[in-house]
Amino acid sequence: MAAAAAAAVGGQQPSQPELPAPGLALDKAATAAHLKAALSRPDNRAGAEELQALLERVLSAERPLAAAAGGEDAAAAGGGGGPGAAEEEALEWCKCLLAGGGGYDEFCAAVRAYDPAALCGLVWTANFVAYRCRTCGISPCMSLCAECFHQGDHTGHDFNMFRSQAGGACDCGDSNVMRESGFCKRHQIKSSSNIPCVPKDLLMMSEFVLPRFIFCLIQYLREGYNEPAADGPSEKDLNKVLQLLEPQISFLEDLTKMGGAMRSVLTQVLTNQQNYKDLTSGLGENACVKKSHEKYLIALKSSGLTYPEDKLVYGVQEPSAGTSSLAVQGFIGATGTLGQVDSSDEDDQDGSQGLGKRKRVKLSSGTKDQSIMDVLKHKSFLEELLFWTIKYEFPQKMVTFLLNMLPDQEYKVAFTKTFVQHYAFIMKTLKKSHESDTMSNRIVHISVQLFSNEELARQVTEECQLLDIMVTVLLYMMESCLIKSELQDEENSLHVVVNCGEALLKNNTYWPLVSDFINILSHQSVAKRFLEDHGLLVTWMNFVSFFQGMNLNKRELNEHVEFESQTYYAAFAAELEACAQPMWGLLSHCKVRETQEYTRNVVRYCLEALQDWFDAINFVDEPAPNQVTFHLPLHRYYAMFLSKAVKCQELDLDSVLPDQEMLMKLMIHPLQIQASLAEIHSNMWVRNGLQIKGQAMTYVQSHFCNSMIDPDIYLLQVCASRLDPDYFISSVFERFKVVDLLTMASQHQNTVLDAEHERSMLEGALTFLVILLSLRLHLGMSDDEILRAEMVAQLCMNDRTHSSLLDLIPENPNPKSGIIPGSYSFESVLSAVADFKAPVFEPGGSMQQGMYTPKAEVWDQEFDPVMVILRTVYRRDVQSAMDRYTAFLKQSGKFPGNPWPPYKKRTSLHPSYKGLMRLLHCKTLHIVLFTLLYKILMDHQNLSEHVLCMVLYLIELGLENSAEEESDEEASVGGPERCHDSWFPGSNLVSNMRHFINYVRVRVPETAPEVKRDSPASTSSDNLGSLQSSRRPKVLQRENSGTAQVFSLVAERRKKFQEIINRSSSEANQVVRPKTSSKWSAPGSAPQLTTAILEIKESILSLLIKLHHKLSGKQNSYYPPWLDDIEILIQPEIPKYSHGDGITAVERILLKAASQSRMNKRIIEEICRKVTPPVPPKKVTAAEKKTLDKEERRQKARERQQKLLAEFASRQKSFMETAMDVDSPENDIPMEITTAEPQVSEAVYDCVICGQSGPSSEDRPTGLVVLLQASSVLGQCRDNVEPKKLPISEEEQIYPWDTCAAVHDVRLSLLQRYFKDSSCLLAVSIGWEGGVYVQTCGHTLHIDCHKSYMESLRNDQVLQGFSVDKGEFTCPLCRQFANSVLPCYPGSNVENNPWQRPSNKSIQDLIKEVEELQGRPGAFPVSISSETNLSKEMESVMKDIKNTTQKKYRDYSKTPGSPDNDFLFMYSVARYHLTSNE
């Protein structure tokens, strides 16, 4: 045997592997005992050689491959016992050798008795039911098996039972992952007991046998993996190899279950570098081993990896001095030499279409780049075993074996380092895998066990550069799917973003790597190292910038998008998982003052990345129109770290803010998102399909709002608190495209917005301002206050179950935060704000779930409509909340009418954000509020009750946050005089409310009624067309009472921006800025507009008092309450929460204005006296009161009727201006309804496919969805009044000869006997039996939309119950069956033609009129000389109608194909419908 071993090691390899000698095969136990005795001697060299020779013969690496090939050769190689006989024999030998001649079961029992392991380590796969206790867990990923959970004490703990998605392992006994108090009894005892030492001879044979056995397994894996020339090994081949190796892997798995003693031996075998070196390279003359090593090297190279000994040269460019550790370069295609990404990736990049400029990341250290991405050298069995596990895409058996070894601490450290070493290779294999979902789950199954341990994660981070590897691998992974960004400057943009249509993002292939990164960032020591490493922060910000501006939406202006892209799912998931969750992990470690430096680091590099982004997209100050992206992770990183710096770290906000110019840039894109939300809800993006609404809803949805809309709103609040308030307010209204609407003229021309969208966009702008000024989520609220506000908002929309409320409350993605849904804080807040309605049985027997409903005091004190609007996914939920609020007020008797959204006093602002309230005290906002109040009072169109509600809310908010000391005489000191200076003298709302504006210059069309008014004598003779007021002295302006100049929000914003740019132009390296496009020029620059002067003579106070009269419907309805009780002004009892309607709101505002200023009080009293002099009260009798009430009701009814008629006329006029494309409206159309001739509007149709409304035209006709059916109902009519009887014999006939059809046939035969055929056809109708019945669902659609719809039905593979080829379809809206579309003829919807009017004239007179009309040209609609789309469709529908009836009625005359046939048929169909309708 020794000679055979020598031959195997140093001599020639036998041509065929041989089985052990027959004697040994017959007596394995004796041989094993003999070898154990020989190895126990002091000089055991001979025994070792003898054992190695035996193992060489038993464990042949070629036998499984022969078996895999199948057939007779495999059977012969297996010794005649079948393909599996040799393997079974080899395993039996291994068991006998391990047992040393004794029984294998006894050996296993003996080894288990020496198990010192204090950990459970039970490994499970997917769908296993496990437990997680948040009370006992240190790591959020902690989990327990059922046995350990039930044997531990978790009474009163916050735990849950879950079904494992990817698999896991029990952490019981691991004090690094969970607290010892949560250990089960079994592992508590083990950890404290003393286990006796393992006898030396018990595991001696294992130490000799297992290295050879594992090496044999590796050889099998090498031999079984064949690298094809094209796509990699097929899954079938890999599974076949793994199936053959299953007994060997199961044997190793069984060994791990013997306990800690055997796992210790396995650890030594797997990590011993000398054993690995001796067996893999020491047998140089062994042909089998040499061939195996060659296949191993081929597998390395095919994976894009290189063996260090190959000494390949890499062209790595060293960075210049002073550069950051990450240099980003852009280049065309994928021709870079850096990184040497695997060939498949290169092919993918080269083959992609339209990718434009690529962006490749170059690390500063060539060694680090090489070691992370390309170089892999194995030094132990464990390393190569993991390599093949990855190569075979993580077979479950192999994963289970590797995880079963984790209770051994030495192995756990070694395996973790090996896993990190192979991290880049895991990424590359994952990208290529066809089963990425399964592979992802198994990767996480392993990694979550390794990285949940903070001490181990810290150790690997320090020794193996774990953070560098993870960030670099993620960066390289995303590089393969980058495309050129089209945001802002599409042609010259240098920015690149991820392509959300790539499989990498659509399938969430990146998920396991991002999950690992989030896991290690949950450990404070690791996160601290990350936040201290400037190079890592730069790298990470570059990674985040790949997602900045992804999934760009471009508004469709002409045609409806043909195919709706669903890439937004991938985009939102990518930002949340790859950007937001790591951000929350980092934020959880920035809670104390000592961590200020970390926040400064992140903010610094985030600002640098943002500046690079602005430069790359060539952004100055104007966003590109009709574009929006919901993905701005860099903005959100910056915002959330600012919030944490102020809230937790006591940092001075100004110390981490950039200059004014950068703040202006930062606000633009988040503001653009808010404006786009309003546009989407206004149906301005309807041509982009439903997916754009899906994005808007996802943006505010509970799982995303914490990481998206909340940071955006907060960043805008920060910008508003530091920027000039006039500039900010102007920017808001400009972004919402309602600048042209903010004029006091009765007519205006909006250059960027259709009239139908003006109202909803104005509501959106005002609602946004209310949210911006009211929201306190990041401006001073505590976590418990935030949780309470969120819960109240959700409960006010609808009653909720516990589970739905858990899902709807925005969850902090950081698992270590204190307000996780399900925590003690959550339950205590829930019990404080809601009552539980127990489950009830319904009449049908089903049980309705128990629901939580708001307490009465919540409705009374805490209902916040602003929070409801912010958290509403569906707009109907806002109305639902208001309906429930109204019902509560009526039931409780607090308010009987229809209430407005209640005003709620806000919590105090953090001192750092006090500047936000300057928005409420700027002249621009006051001008807007004054203008809107005036327009509402004058009943201008496009102003709803919602607009008024928001205007009053902003005024009240401004009064709540006014300055303590009022300055009655405010004057601007220094600086250029602006046009808004001619409106209001100061910026304090309290004083500006009483300021009277006598005249206002406005820009109106030349035909507007305001143009005819003469200029007042006090008006200055300045150039009225100028956008700037003259530089006359302020005193003179006030003496004149001032004529308010033309105020252009856009022009004012431009001036302010230019001032800031000029202020910073003193820097040495000032860059020349490009001019902004002319599309945002001032609305007053259009040549058809002229300047007119309106007489106003109102103040905000006077407008409010008149508004009170208007809302109440009574003259002199407002009576100052302090005239009866002066104490109201001294100590005004204004509650923090107020119920009521608009009248109540106006009264509340006037009381606050009077209590804050004596001058306001006096002016309010004067206005009330001027409106109607006070009349002493007199006694009214009951009869007089009844008469007065009756008259008052009549008056109100007349006013309501008048208002409705005026609104209807206004809407008709507005539509005429839009639909008929009228340049200037009629000269003399007043706002009130007049007795002029009724206006005739063109019929408007709504297309149920594209959602557009408009008239039917020659070029684009609209049609009515109809169903055409042949009918002979009229033919069965009889002259006989006797009822029909059902025939019961052959003599009786069901169709008698006295029917209309029979009479018609007799008449036609008689006529044809005496007259010409053409003359006969004019005198008869074939509709009696050849009729066509037309019915409709009433829905209309564009003809071209219908054709596209029919084409989509033809391509639809779903089984349909109708024939599309025959023109059959279902109505796209109501799904009613139809088979044609009837074109609508263009024209008015008013029947005013003389031949259409009903008349009582005699038949003779009507005949004469028809003859005259026939002789008059153009009296009847005739065919158009040039063929149009309408004429084509009319011809087409006539064919459909003809094809509906029976064939004999299509050619009824004796001359087939004659035009007389068509006329007869259509005339008969028309007559049929006229007769049947009677």
* pLDDT-above-90 percentage for the chain: 30
Whether 1100 and 1093 have beta carbons less than 8 Å apart is answered as no
Q: How high is the pLDDT of residue 64?
A: 44
Q: How high is the pLDDT of residue 1122?
A: 85
**Those residues with Cβ within 8 angstroms of residue 338's Cβ, 6 or more apart along the chain or in another chain:** 315, 316, 317, 360, 362, 369
Q: How high is the pLDDT of residue 672?
A: 96
Please choose, from the candidates 481, 632, 639, the residue with its C-alpha nearest in 3D space to the C-alpha of residue 552.
632
What sign results for the dihedral spanned by CA atoms 1077, 1079, 1085, 1087? Answer: positive
Alpha-carbon span 336 to 332, nearest angstrom: 9
Alpha-carbon span 679 to 150, nearest angstrom: 56
pLDDT-based confidence at residue 1059 (cuts at 50, 70, 90): low
User: Which helix (H) or strand (E) covers residue 268, if one does?
Assistant: helix 260-271
Please choose, from the candidates 880, 864, 859, the residue with its C-alpha nearest in 3D space to the C-alpha of residue 798.
880
User: Which helix (H) or strand (E) covers residue 493, if one does?
Assistant: none
Please choose, from the candidates 1393, 1371, 1392, the residue with its C-alpha nearest in 3D space to the C-alpha of residue 1380.
1371
What sign results for the dihedral spanned by CA atoms 1292, 1295, 1296, 1297? Answer: negative
Report the chain's mean pLDDT, rounded to a whole number. Answer: 76
Which residues share a beta bridge with 719?
none
Q: Which of 623-627, 845-849, 972-976, 1281-1285 has the highest mean pLDDT?
A: 623-627
Quote the DSSP letter at residue 275: H
User: Which helix (H) or strand (E) covers residue 601, if one does?
Assistant: helix 596-616
Q: How high is the pLDDT of residue 1050?
A: 65
Which residues share a beta bridge with 1244?
none
Rounded to an integer, the average pLDDT of 308-330 is 36
What sign results for the dihedral spanned by CA atoms 433, 438, 439, 440? Answer: positive
Q: How high is the pLDDT of residue 174?
A: 83
Quote the DSSP letter at residue 11: S
Whether the per-residue pLDDT at 1209 is higher than 50: the answer is yes
Counts for the chain of helices (H) and strands (E), in that order: 60, 26
Rounded to an integer, the average pLDDT of 1137-1143 is 86
pLDDT tens-digit map of 630-653: 999 999 999 999 999 999 988 999
User: Which helix (H) or strand (E) covers residue 468, if one does?
Assistant: helix 466-479
pLDDT tens-digit map of 99-141: 887 888 888 888 888 776 677 888 888 888 999 998 888 877 7
Alpha-carbon span 597 to 606, nearest angstrom: 14
Identity of the residue numbered 177: V
Which residue has better confidence, 527 or 1134?
Answer: 527
Alpha-carbon span 957 to 773, nearest angstrom: 8
Which residues share a beta bridge with 131?
144, 161
CA distances from 1298 to 215, 1290, 1305, 1323, 1324 (A): 104, 18, 11, 20, 17
Alpha-carbon span 647 to 1292, nearest angstrom: 97
Whether 203 and 35 have beta carbons less than 8 Å apart is answered as no
Copy the structure tokens of residue 276: 């690995």
Rounded to an integer, the average pLDDT of 817-845 is 74
* Collapsed DSSP state (helix, strand, coil) of residue 695: helix
Which residue has better confidence, 237 or 1142?
Answer: 1142
Identify the burial level of 1033 via C-beta atoms within 10 angstroms of its C-beta, where 0-12 means exposed, 13-18 middle and 19 or more buried: exposed
Please choose, from the candidates 564, 562, 598, 563, the residue with its C-alpha nearest in 3D space to the C-alpha of residue 583.
598
Query: How many C-beta atoms lie closer than 10 Å to residue 1218's C-beta?
Result: 13
pLDDT-based confidence at residue 1174 (cuts at 50, 70, 90): very low
Q: How high is the pLDDT of residue 767?
A: 96
Prediction pTM value: 0.73
Which residue has better confidence, 233 or 1026?
Answer: 233
Phi, psi of 601 (to 5 degrees): -60, -50
Which residues share a beta bridge with 800?
852
Q: How high is the pLDDT of residue 204?
A: 85
Q: What is the DSSP string of 850-909?
A: PEEEE-HHHHHHT--HHHHHHH-SSTHHHHHHHHHHHHHHHHHTS--S-PPPPEEPPPPP
Whether 1002 and 938 have beta carbons less than 8 Å apart is answered as no
Rounded to an integer, the average pLDDT of 767-789 is 92
Q: How high is the pLDDT of residue 34?
A: 84
Copy the structure tokens of residue 987: 């910026």
Which residue has better confidence, 623 or 1253?
Answer: 623
Which residue has better confidence, 592 or 1091?
Answer: 592
Q: How high is the pLDDT of residue 340?
A: 35
* Collapsed DSSP state (helix, strand, coil) of residue 1264: strand
pLDDT-based confidence at residue 1460 (cuts at 50, 70, 90): low
Q: How high is the pLDDT of residue 760?
A: 92
Whether the per-residue pLDDT at 625 is higher than 80: the answer is yes
Please choose, from the candidates 371, 370, 362, 360, the residue with its C-alpha nearest in 3D space to the C-alpha of residue 314.
370
Whether the per-residue pLDDT at 1399 is higher than 70: the answer is no
Whether the per-residue pLDDT at 1248 is higher than 70: the answer is yes
Which range is least confidently modeled, 636-650, 1369-1383, 1443-1457? 1443-1457
Identify the burial level of 1260 via C-beta atoms within 10 angstroms of its C-beta, where 0-12 means exposed, 13-18 middle and 19 or more buried: middle
Alpha-carbon span 695 to 688, nearest angstrom: 11
pLDDT tens-digit map of 375-433: 788 889 999 999 999 988 888 889 989 988 888 889 999 999 999 999 999 998 888 88
Rounded to an integer, the average pLDDT of 551-574 is 89
pLDDT tens-digit map of 1020-1050: 222 222 223 332 333 223 333 446 665 566 6
Q: How high is the pLDDT of residue 1063?
A: 55
Q: How high is the pLDDT of residue 977?
A: 47
Which residues share a beta bridge with 1092?
1002
Q: How high is the pLDDT of residue 244?
A: 83
Rounded to an integer, the average pLDDT of 272-282 is 81
Buried b / exposed e across 901-929, counting CB within 10 Å, b at 16+? bbbbebeebbebbebbbbbbbbbbbbbbb
Q: How high is the pLDDT of residue 676?
A: 96
Q: How high is the pLDDT of residue 1182?
A: 55
pLDDT-based confidence at residue 220 (cuts at 50, 70, 90): confident
Q: How high is the pLDDT of residue 1003?
A: 78
Residue linked to tokens 């070029």: 1259
Q: How high is the pLDDT of residue 816?
A: 40
Whether the per-residue pLDDT at 25 is higher than 50: the answer is no
Q: How high is the pLDDT of residue 68?
A: 41
Q: How high is the pLDDT of residue 764?
A: 95
